[in-house]
Structure formats: structure tokens, C-alpha cells
């Protein structure tokens, strides 16, 4: 595609960003698309060594093009490539190659956002140089727990259901508990961990604490076997057994951490919109090309009205979901106008963008498979991997149901 094509694909996105987005698309076509099956472990997902090697090599290539450093402000050593208006479309472009690989790249800034927003210089100075360096340094946002899953992200429950505890002992936090399903669990170098100092205090007890991987008492379970993101997103249990970290590794303090946590959730919601639409766009492009080269009764498949209608439905859904998330991304860049990221209004809008994008992604990839018939479920055509992956993206941060509740709460107050 050209910059002009990008202008048509991302209407309203600043001109300065279009060239970079076009560069990301070219990177995906050149570096990721030829190796998509390798990222999945080859035929039948059997070759874990191949998947790990490919993942590591492509992660390094993303670092080389400032995919990680570009997410951080220039003031702390980053490249400061842009705000949400740039990064959500950028995540879509990269996710067309692989949304798990892109999620791994995005975790760095997501995990560090609470420290950046609170101005925690100890955490910033200790870890951001690692993320902005020339070698991989991974992050994990450890939220979900075995008891109740993602209910800890439900703002109505106000932190009362968090079971991972943090107790102050002198100049150290002592953390005990367990997390389940966090992305990059066991492979990341730094873990932003959701804790409570006292669950009875609700939001006042919420604490966001950074835990380096080598900290004594931190251990990990094996990766979960999943239908999608088989090797590009490692999910498993994290165990905290009297884990001790410096007092300064807490993002901020009582009450403030709860607000930062809500901000982090909002960032995750709007980011997931791009992560989900990328695979859907990839499936759409494959289906359109496939129907150009297949014939029924002497005509291209896509010239028949039934198939043309299906293709039109896919295009309409993709463009509508993309336009919505671009609008919300711009709003997230203007907190001076629309309020704090984690407040009900923007959190609801970001949740709505995620819900629409993920629902669209599942629908579009499913239609692509129907159009292609048996070829759609063949590993060689990539559609089946796109479909498996986007279904998992739909489950991120509490799934579509919690996202809908958060959207409703941005319109009027209620408790369920």
C-alpha cells in the first residue's frame, strides 16, 4: 500500500503518522507474514523450538525498528513516536502479522504506564532504560486471579475481591498470592502486580507493585495449552511466596493506585481494539484474493452476488469498527477535554471500542472461513490461526460482557 492508501484506511489520522503506518505494513509483509506458521510451531503446532526461535528473532526486529522504544516519551529515553491516535492503528498493522507478537511488544509501555503517570522516578530509572535498550526486555501485567478471574477489573467491586496481598515491612513490600493467565507470565523480566494492602478497604487498599523476575519467592507454573496464541502469548500461573521488593516499587500510594489501575485498564481496552482488527483485516484480504482466483460457472467467485454481499459485510464491519476506535483513540489523547483515562466516560468509550472491534474480528474471520470453505480451515491459508487468535483477544480484560457493562456505566450510574 501507499501513504495515500493509508489515508483512506485510517481517515482522520494525522498525516505525520501515515508514513510510519505504511512502514509497519511493509515490515509485516516482509518479515512476519512469511513466518506466521513458524510462530505457531509449524504444522500441528508441534515444534516449540521453531516457534520460540522465530518469536525471539521477530521480537528483536521489532526492537530494531523502535517498536518498543517508540512507545515511551523522549523525556525518559524513548522515541516518543505518538499517542493513542498513532499506536492503536500501529498495533492493528502489526497484528495483521501476529497479534500475540504485537501484544508482547505492547506490554512494555502498558506495564510502565502507572509509574510514568505517577512520576515514580525510582521505577522509571530502574526499568525504562531496559525497555528502551537494544535487547529484548519483557513485561507482564499481572491482574487476573484464580478465584473469580477478571472480576478484580470490575470497578463496581472496588478492589474487595483481590486476594494477592502486599504488606509493608520496613522499607520493603512483602507480596503473597497467585495470579493466573497474565500475558508473558514466566517469560517477562518485570511484573506489574495488582495487590491489596487490605481488601476491606476497597479501592484504598489497591496497590500496583513492580516485581523483577529474579526476585526470590517469585515462581511460575507451566504455560496453558490454548486454542490460539499458542506460542506468541505465554499464559500461566504466577506464585508470590513472601516476595520482597523495595517500598519505592509501588506505583504511588493509597487511593492513587486505584485511579492508576483504572487508567491502565482503559489503555488495555483501546489497545485491544487494534490488536483484534489486525487479524480480521488479514483474513479479509486473504478471502478477497482467494475469491479472485476461484471460479464458479466461469465467473470469479467474488463476482457472484452472494459472495459479493459477504465481502461487503466484512468491509463495512471492519471500517465501522476502525472508525470508532480512531475516534476513541483521539479522545484518549485529549484528557484535558474528555477527562481522566480511567474515569467512567473514557473507560466506557474504550470498552465500547474493544467490544465492537473484537466482535467484528470474530465475525469477519468466521465469514472469511465460510467463503473459502475447506481451504479456510487449512493451516496453509492462515485463516484458521486468525480465527483462533482473535477469539482469545475477545477474552482479554474480562471479555465482552464486562466491556458492555463498563460502556453502560459511562452513560448512567448503576451497580449490578
Are 250 and 269 in a shared domain?
no
Q: What is the pLDDT of residues 31-44, one digit of tens each?
A: 999 999 999 999 88
Domain assignment present for residue 63? The answer is yes
Domain assignment present for residue 241? The answer is yes
Residue 380 pLDDT grade (very low, low, confident, very high; cuts 50, 70, 90) = confident
Q: Is the dihedral of CA 327, 142, 258, 405 positive or negative?
A: positive
Domain assignment present for residue 387? The answer is yes
Better pLDDT: 413 or 235: 235
Q: What is the pLDDT of residues 177-210, one digit of tens each?
A: 999 999 999 999 999 999 999 999 999 999 999 9
At residue 262's C-alpha, the angle toward residues 261 and 266, to 5°, is 115
Helix-strand-coil split of the chain, %, nearest 5: 60, 15, 25
At residue 227's C-alpha, the angle toward residues 98 and 52, to 5°, is 50
pLDDT at 2: 86
Q: Which of 97-101, 184-188, 375-379 has the lowest mean pLDDT?
A: 375-379
CB 250, CB 228: distance < 8 Å = no
400-407 average pLDDT score: 89
Are 353 and 322 in a shared domain?
yes
Residue 295 pLDDT grade (very low, low, confident, very high; cuts 50, 70, 90) = low
Judged against a pLDDT cut of 90, whether residue 317 lies above it is answered with yes
Q: What is the pLDDT of residues 78-89, one digit of tens each?
A: 999 999 999 999
Q: What is the distance of C-alpha 372 from the center of its chain?
A: 28
Structural element, H or E, at residue 412: none
Domain count within the chain: 3
Are 346 and 270 in a shared domain?
yes
Judged against a pLDDT cut of 80, whether residue 410 lies above it is answered with yes
Residue 381 pLDDT grade (very low, low, confident, very high; cuts 50, 70, 90) = confident
Judged against a pLDDT cut of 80, whether residue 264 lies above it is answered with yes
Strand 190-196 and strand 139-142: pairing? parallel
Q: What is the pLDDT of residues 107-162, one digit of tens each?
A: 999 999 999 999 999 999 999 999 999 999 999 999 999 887 677 787 777 788 89
361: domain CATH number? 1.20.140.10
Q: Which of 227, 256, 285 is the last residue of a domain?
A: 256
DSSP string, 314-336: HHHHHHHHHHHHHHHHHHHT-HH
91-103 average pLDDT score: 97
Are 280 and 397 in a shared domain?
yes
Q: What is the pLDDT of residues 232-258, one digit of tens each?
A: 999 999 999 999 999 999 999 999 999
Are 100 and 214 in a shared domain?
no
Closest CA to 138 of 100, 175, 174: 100
DSSP assignment letter at 180: E
Query: Interhelix angle for 256-293 vs 84-95, to 10°?
Result: 40
pLDDT at 236: 94
Are 112 and 27 in a shared domain?
yes
Structural domain containing residue 167: 139-256
Are 271 and 373 in a shared domain?
yes
Q: What is the pLDDT of residues 337-361, one digit of tens each?
A: 999 999 999 999 999 999 999 999 9
The two most distant CA atoms of the chain are separated, in Å, by 79
Q: Which of 256, 278, 309 is the last residue of a domain?
A: 256
Domain assignment present for residue 191? The answer is yes
13-28 average pLDDT score: 96
Are 351 and 395 in a shared domain?
yes
295-318 average pLDDT score: 84
Confidence (pTM): 0.94
Domain assignment present for residue 240? The answer is yes
Residue 208, strand partner residues:
194
Q: Which of 72, 97, 131 is the last residue of a domain?
A: 131
pLDDT at 108: 96
Rounded to an integer, what distance in angstroms lies between the CA atom of residue 324 and that of residue 11? 11
Are 121 and 186 in a shared domain?
no
Domain assignment present for residue 285? The answer is yes
Rounded to an integer, what distance in angstroms lies between the CA atom of residue 265 and that of residue 194? 12
67: domain CATH number? 1.10.540.10
pLDDT at 150: 72
pLDDT at 338: 97
Q: Which of 190-194, 217-221, 230-234, 293-297 has the lowest mean pLDDT?
A: 293-297
pLDDT at 262: 96
Rounded to an integer, what distance in angstroms lies between the CA atom of residue 112 and that of residue 287? 38
Domain assignment present for residue 416? The answer is no
**Cα radius of gyration rounded to whole Å, the chain:** 21
Could you tell me what percent of the chain has a pLDDT over 70? 99
277-302 average pLDDT score: 87
Are 114 and 144 in a shared domain?
no
Domain assignment present for residue 167? The answer is yes
CB 393, CB 362: distance < 8 Å = no
pLDDT at 348: 96
Are 251 and 265 in a shared domain?
no
Q: What is the pLDDT of residues 53-71, one digit of tens each?
A: 999 999 999 999 999 999 9
Are 209 and 236 in a shared domain?
yes
Residue 167 pLDDT grade (very low, low, confident, very high; cuts 50, 70, 90) = very high
218: domain CATH number? 2.40.110.10
Rounded to an integer, what distance in angstroms lies between the CA atom of residue 290 and that of residue 376? 10
pLDDT at 374: 86
Rounded to an integer, what distance in angstroms lies between the CA atom of residue 250 and that of residue 231? 31
pLDDT, mean over the chain: 94
Judged against a pLDDT cut of 80, whether residue 388 lies above it is answered with yes
Residue 172, strand partner residues:
169, 246
pLDDT at 159: 81
pLDDT at 416: 65
Amino acid at each position: 500500500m501507499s501513504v495515500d492508501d493509508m489515508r483512506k484506511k485510517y481517515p482522520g489520522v494525522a498525516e505525520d503518522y501515515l508514513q510510519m503506518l505504511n512502514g509497519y505494513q511493509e515490515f509485516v509483509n516482509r518479515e512476519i507474514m512469511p513466518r506466521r506458521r513458524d510462530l505457531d510451531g509449524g504444522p500441528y503446532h508441534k515444534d516449540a523450538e521453531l516457534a520460540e526461535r522465530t518469536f525471539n528473532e521477530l521480537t528483536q526486529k521489532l526492537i530494531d525498528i523502535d517498536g518498543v522504544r517508540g512507545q515511551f516519551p523522549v523525556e525518559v529515553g524513548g522515541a516518543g513516536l505518538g499517542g493513542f491516535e498513532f499506536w492503536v492503528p500501529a498495533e492493528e498493522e502489526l497484528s495483521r502479522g501476529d497479534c500475540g507478537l504485537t501484544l508482547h511488544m505492547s506490554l512494555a509501555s502498558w506495564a510502565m504506564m502507572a509509574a510514568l503517570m505517577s512520576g515514580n522516578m525510582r521505577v522509571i530509572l530502574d526499568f525504562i532504560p531496559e525497555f528502551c535498550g537494544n535487547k529484548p526486555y519483557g513485561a507482564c501485567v499481572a491482574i487476573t486471579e484464580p478465584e473469580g478471574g477478571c472480576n478484580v477489573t470490575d470497578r463496581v467491586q472496588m478492589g474487595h475481591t483481590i486476594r494477592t496481598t502486599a504488606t509493608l515491612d520496613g522499607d520493603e513490600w512483602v507480596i503473597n498470592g497467585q495470579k493466573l493467565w497474565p500475558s508473558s507470565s514466566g517469560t517477562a523480566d518485570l511484573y506489574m502486580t495488582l495487590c491489596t494492602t487490605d481488601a476491606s478497604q476497597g479501592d484504598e487498599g489497591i496497590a500496583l507493585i513492580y516485581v523483577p523476575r529474579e526476585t526470590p519467592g517469585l515462581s511460575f507454573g507451566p504455560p496453558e495449552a490454548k486454542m490460539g496464541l499458542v506460542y506468541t502469548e505465554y499464559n500461566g500461573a504466577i506464585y508470590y511466596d513472601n516476595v520482597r521488593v523495595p517500598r519505592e516499587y509501588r506505583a504511588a500510594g493509597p487511593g492513587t493506585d486505584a485511579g492508576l489501575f483504572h487508567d491502565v485498564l482503559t489503555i488495555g481496552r483501546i489497545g485491544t481494539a487494534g490488536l483484534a482488527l489486525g487479524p480480521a483485516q488479514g483474513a479479509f484480504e486473504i478471502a478477497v484474493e482467494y475469491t479472485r482466483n476461484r471460479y464458479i460457472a466461469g465467473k470469479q467467485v467474488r463476482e457472484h452476488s452472494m459472495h459479493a454481499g459477504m465481502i461487503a459485510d466484512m468491509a463495512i464491519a471492519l471500517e465501522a469498527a476502525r472508525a470508532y476506535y480512531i475516534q476513541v483513540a483521539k479522545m484518549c489523547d485529549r484528557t484535558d477535554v474528555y477527562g481522566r483515562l480511567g474515569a467512567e466516560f473514557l473507560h466506557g468509550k474504550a470498552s465500547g471500542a474493544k467490544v465492537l472491534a473484537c466482535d467484528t474480528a470474530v465475525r469477519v474471520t468466521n465469514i472469511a472461513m465460510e467463503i473459502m470453505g475447506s481451504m479456510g480451515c487449512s493451516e496453509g491459508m492462515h485463516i484458521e490461526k486468525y480465527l483462533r487468535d482473535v477469539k482469545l483477544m475477545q477474552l482479554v480484560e474480562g471479555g465482552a460482557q464486562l466491556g458492555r457493562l463498563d460502556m453502560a456505566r459511562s452513560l448512567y450510574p448503576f451497580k449490578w
